[in-house]
Amino acid sequence: MSCFLICGALFVVAAYFYHETVVKGQRCTSNAKLHGKTVIVTGSNTGIGKCAAVDLARRGARVIMACRSRERGERAMEDVKRESGSNNVAFMPLDLASLKSVRNFAENYLKTEQRLDILINNAGLYMEGRTEDGFGMMFGVNHLGHFLLTNLLLQRLKESAPSRVVNVSSLAHNFGHVDFDCLHQNKTLGTGNSFMQLMQIYSNSKLCNVLFTHELHKRMQGTGVTCYSLHPGAINTEFARNINWFTVMFLKPITSFFFKTPEQGCQTTLHCALQEDLEPLSGRYFSNCTARNLLAKARDDATAKKLWELSERLSGLV
């Protein structure tokens, strides 16, 4: 009995240590103030995007919350204002599943805002379906919508330099690949609707985020615009709203203990957006507020260039 109690106590201590040191992770240590600067955060009505918006507003930035749902976005905007103590927060509608919406957002932004110092491409989803333009939902929202948005705002980023683009990816990119034949034939990153097939498509879209960052860095050298991709960690957020209820309930005990809170999960985003002297690491991938090495497929020049050129055609940039 005493042996059982000792083992149980050791397990509790080990679990607590793991949660405090591994799950919570590192925090952004930057003391940067952002008065006079403007930041866009996509998908900021919930989760890590909303937490990042609160932090950036507290630092004095003008924060543009770019979200699909007007009702949810405006409600979140009021939350961010209250929690940050700043009224310099605005909502602008952006549906990344619609290239028309992306273009409308960029046009309105360029008419009304004079600066863009930080663009945080945070929005992402895990779900099947098609976008308004017929693309696979995860390819269209997780990659193509952000690709078009970034390109439409690049001139304003250059004018506001030094400026940064932060692309929220995932550790799942390690399991991804880009099937260009599938993209050409089906306008999607994969087919099938089982859990594993959808997870593969999600991983593929997250690889696109990293490859986009790699190529963007090469094209922005000398402009004062730097860019970073990142893994925020496993986050206990509303991301799971697109997964069936049985899976959510099954995973809840695990996510409650082993997943980060949104506030913990936004720290690497904030690090990439704010950390001083990060410019020499432009194009790199970060996890737990630290630059990490990538697999060869995630930094392949030819694949990144090919994805960029295809994305230009699919989004109507060329």
The predicted model gives 44-71 an average pLDDT of: 97
Query: What is the phi/psi pair of residue 90, to 5°?
Result: -135, 150
Q: What is the pTM of this model?
A: 0.89
- With a cut of 70, say whether residue 172 has pLDDT above it: yes
Q: Hey, how many other C-beta atoms are within 10 angstroms of the C-beta on 114?
A: 10
pLDDT-based confidence at 196, cuts 50/70/90? very high
User: pLDDT-based confidence at 14, cuts 50/70/90?
Assistant: very low
Q: Give the pLDDT confidence score for residue 25 in this predicted structure.
A: 81
Give tens-digit pLDDT for 139-171.
Answer: 999 999 999 999 999 999 999 999 999 999 999
Return the active site residues. 202
Least trusted range by pLDDT, from 2-6, 37-41, 269-273: 2-6
Q: What is the mean pLDDT of the chain?
A: 90
Residue ranges of domains in the chain, CATH in brackets: 2-315 (3.40.50.720)
More confident residue, 25 or 20: 25
